[in-house]
Structure 1
Amino acid sequence: MKMPKIDNWEYFGGGWRRTGPKTSRVVIDTHAHLFPRLGKSKGWDQDIHTKLSQNHVRDFTTFWRKKDNSRIDGFLLDYPSDDIGQLPNLNFRITDHGRAEFVKDGIEYYMQIAPPGLSTMEVTPERMLGEMDIAGVDLCVLQSDHVYGELNEFYGEASQKYPNKFAPLAQIREWNGDEENELQELENAVRKQGCKGLYFSVEGFALNGYIDHIDDRKFDPLWELVEQLKIPIWWFLDARKKDRATAFMERLHELIRWTQIHPNIPSLLTHGLVPATLIHEMGIPDELVELLKNPNTYAEFQNPAKWPEYPYSEGQDLIKRMCDEVGVESFTWGSDMPFSAGYWCTYKQSVDHIDIHCDFLSEREKNLILGGNAARLLDIDINK
């Protein structure tokens, strides 16, 4: 049977796709997720997990009233404090099909905190491998936010089963990052469970009253261990405080000071330079641009979260500006799968908006953003 073709398209059985010369490009997604069923991860204090999960979505604005499915817009989960101890008790719970439910003023609501395709609220390695095959992604870096539960053991099993497909990031309780048990957790995650880096989120600082700072001396033993293990750090700098812009800039300046003290530790800013909530308010701060000029500091492009219309022409402008001002060697591509495929675009489109639509990038530059820079950061030989 002959495969139908029209110009630069071909039919592959499930639809039409572009044709073109085969490339040797290795595609590495620096922002993906696997997780066991949400809310069921062993080892977690469920009260802590519920608080972090509810606080994580405090800025969501779209809900549905459960009794009649009416859409309700507003800040139903926000509260007038940055003290997570004052988080209102709304019987917040994660259910199925991407939903969370809660009760406010006696009324039951639900919200889509994830795509409805997450019917059991879990992402198995096999599910993600299927997504990767369709999109043409070779390897995924697994970020490890606490809202997904306790992940090191789960990630270890996935990376052991599929060692060339997943590069997990170790998870610690950052607010206790100076304690011996957390240091042991990190060392075990790297040496025994196959983790390739450390995920460090300031969001968990909420559990300690935001008294901690990235450049506090209390964390020196942690950074010494990171350097000893020769691993990079993935940073999440959004504390989800009420004044998110001020909080982000405070954490950014902490990271700048940290980088001056620890220039030999490679690191990457996750979630697309600036959180989606803030990027249209503050743009890309000059301080962030200067930080990225350090040879060991990288950032992830994640345009689908920032603009509503594919192929994100404004995001393409941002990529061009950043590559011109900083240099293409400082950037990776991250998707936030599986969330991106339900909210923004398909997984393949997330790759294609750079591969196909950023025609100002040379093949070499696309190779670096879509995989080469991540491989260098993770010390992975992609030429094997």
Structure 2
Amino acid sequence: MKIFCILMFFCSGSFAYTSEQVLKTAWSDKTYLSYDKIQSTGSRNPLRNVEGVLSQEQNGTAEVEVGLKFQFKSWPEWTGKRGQGNEQKLLKETSLGWALRSRYNTLLLVELNSQKLKCVEEALHLSELYIQAQSLSLRAGRGTSKSFLSAKSDLYKLQRTQNALRQEKEILEKRVKTWAPEIKDRGLVGLELVQVDDISQLLQGHYPNGDSLSRKIANEEIEQMGQELEIVKGREKQWFKAVEVSQTRKDDETRYKVELTVQIPGLGSDDLAKQKQNELILKRALKQRDLEESGDQLQSLKVQILNLVDIYRKTKKMEKISVGTLDSLANIERKITQQQEQLDLLNQQQEITSLYLDYLLESEILLKAPDKNYLDKRQGEI
């Protein structure tokens, strides 16, 4: 009895790769891991650089000079808010969200690609039967060459769609294998995909608070550009640049020297610094304009999804038409149309679910509970 259970365990695909395991590879994403290597720049050290000086001359008498040169930061660099790590923390968390979003979208495409292929294959089978029936009708004088050629054209379109879906399937499988190479020998378990009605219900009960993730990143970029602009201006106005202290020994004589490096603002014209300032001012202004025009991104995204849900539901209602009273040829034609309508519904479902994933990322729901599988109908609560 135990041997039978073990065999059933192996044969049931219990060792197949699950979508949750694919999602967990996000924590091994190279972009996400690269943020661990970023060093903190929050030092309050006023020194920009320290250089050692050592020289020795042999002109009949030995002369040795040793010293240190201290280069100082400008005032905005020393006292500014840069380097506190807030932007690094935000970008690291965001990179995990991006990695999860990429895997979610791939899993979604894998699942819907399989369903689309089934629809196309069924439509192709019906189209071949339809063409055969059209050919018989044409020979019997009951059909027209126009309808026959139109049916052939529809068949070729379906074959091109099938080829495109098969190519997409190969690309998706390769992508998943780059994240989880061991899936090659284990296969991927299908998931109980969250449906359009589920997405509508979840969104209607969710009211986002705060800014979207993209808006937070944009605000961080604007702040960084502002800080960089202050630093460029500060360097241009910085009068005290460096100090160098040295000791020179020649024979029995020892001399000490202190040198100051100063910059007198206004006497020179640093066109490169001014050009850098102009570029930063322009970039910041453009970023601020884009941010103002974007409005409430989360609410806009939510409204867009719900509008698409309404279109999806209307399309689904139109699909339900009785075909019992049609003759055999018209019945086949209607069944082909139904398969094409089902394919259209799957495309709409893909668009809606993809935007839903964007909403989960932008509202930072993915980041708050990254271990959940939001594509799984059983786990998708937000």
**TM-score past 0.5 threshold:** no
Larger Rg: 2
Structure showing the higher helix proportion among its residues: 2
Higher RCO (C-alpha 8 Å, min separation 6): 2
TM-score range, shorter chain: under 0.3
